[in-house]
């Protein structure tokens, strides 16, 4: 949310941005991008308290007008509503909601258990639903807001040995397109970002040789950096991007077209 002298445009310090799953590489990069604008940012986490504290410190050091942290299991309605109420009590009502919290799963479908399925679906897809539902009411009332959901290229094309992850991200894409139509007249845009391979801890299971082989598959010849994904999210939150809704943007270096 860049500053502007245009009449009626809100100052970045008045913009509240909530990023779920902000302890990870992409989530923390998103929070830091908005912090650099001087926005008020809230960093959600579930278990990684130390990682989110460090991310919050970085946000404060680079110019956020306010930094909050919030713990919740986004797969549980009661916890999401508690987080919403605690943020509201602190005077923090999101103008921008980034549904980034997610978990991955690798393995053959024949080996997937009911528990595996429930965890992936509940955090990725149900969490997106619960957070959107909890925070969109204020946006609708104000006739202004941005909901940005984190998907994946595998939600667009599917991936062998990542069937349930692909299914969850594909569900997020459909959710995004449908909710965008529902909220368009209310001035709330809903979009998704579907990154390709990004240099984060999610790829720590790959060897250096495997990472090199993966990079060679990508026309750009490299993996994305988290900050590049954060820039795509930031673009969707700009006032000038208000006419863009129901879209799935995929920064993937030409890997998937």
What's the CATH code of the domain at 143?
Answer: 3.40.50.720
Any idea which residues carry the catalytic annotation? 165
Instruction: Kindly state whether residue 201 falls inside one of the protein's structural domains.
Output: no
Q: Looking at the predicted structure, is the pLDDT value of residue 7 above 50?
A: no
Token pair for 70: 């919030």
Region of poorest pLDDT, from 22-26, 100-104, 126-130, 204-208: 204-208
The pTM of this model reads 0.94
Instruction: Kindly state whether residue 65 falls inside one of the protein's structural domains.
Output: yes
How far is residue 53's CA from residue 153's CA, in Å, rounded to a whole number? 29
Position 206 confidence tier, pLDDT thresholds 50, 70, 90: confident
Helix, strand, coil percent values for the chain (each to nearest 5) = 50, 15, 35
Counted domains in the chain: 1
- Domain span at residue 191? 12-195+229-249
Position 203 confidence tier, pLDDT thresholds 50, 70, 90: confident
Instruction: Kindly state whether residue 58 falls inside one of the protein's structural domains.
Output: yes
Q: Looking at the predicted structure, is the pLDDT value of residue 6 above 70?
A: no
Token pair for 240: 């000038």
Instruction: Kindly state whether residue 204 falls inside one of the protein's structural domains.
Output: no
Instruction: Kindly state whether residue 116 falls inside one of the protein's structural domains.
Output: yes
Q: Looking at the predicted structure, is the pLDDT value of residue 8 above 60?
A: no
pLDDT in tens, 104-161: 999 999 999 999 999 999 999 999 999 999 999 999 999 999 999 999 999 999 999 9
pLDDT in tens, 67-86: 999 999 999 999 999 999 99
């Amino acid at each position: 949310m860049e500053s502007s002298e245009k009449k009626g445009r809100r100052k970045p310090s008045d913009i509240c941005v909530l990023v779920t799953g902000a302890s990870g590489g992409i989530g923390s990069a998103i929070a830091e991008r908005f912090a650099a604008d001087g926005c008020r940012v809230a960093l959600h986490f579930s278990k990684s308290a130390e990682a989110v504290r460090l991310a919050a410190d970085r946000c404060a050091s680079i110019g956020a007008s306010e930094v909050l942290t919030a713990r919740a299991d986004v797969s549980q309605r009661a916890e999401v509503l508690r987080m919403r109420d605690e943020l509201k009590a602190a005077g923090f009502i999101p103008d921008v909601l980034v549904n980034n919290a997610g978990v991955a799963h690798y393995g053959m479908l024949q080996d997937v258990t009911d528990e595996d399925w429930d965890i992936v679906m509940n955090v990725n897809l149900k969490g997106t639903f619960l957070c959107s539902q909890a925070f969109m009411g204020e946006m609708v009332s104000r006739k202004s807001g941005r909901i940005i959901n984190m998907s994946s290229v595998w939600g667009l094309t599917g991936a062998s040995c990542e069937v349930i992850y692909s299914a969850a991200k594909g569900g997020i894409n459909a959710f995004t397109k449908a909710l965008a139509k529902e909220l368009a007249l209310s001035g709330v845009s809903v979009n998704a970002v579907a990154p390709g391979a990004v240099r984060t801890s999610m790829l720590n299971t790959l060897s250096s040789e495997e990472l090199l082989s993966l990079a060679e598959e990508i026309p750009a010849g490299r993996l994305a950096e988290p900050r590049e994904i954060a820039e795509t999210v930031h673009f969707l939150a700009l006032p000038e991007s208000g006419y863009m809704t129901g879209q799935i943007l995929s920064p993937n270096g030409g890997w998937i077209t």
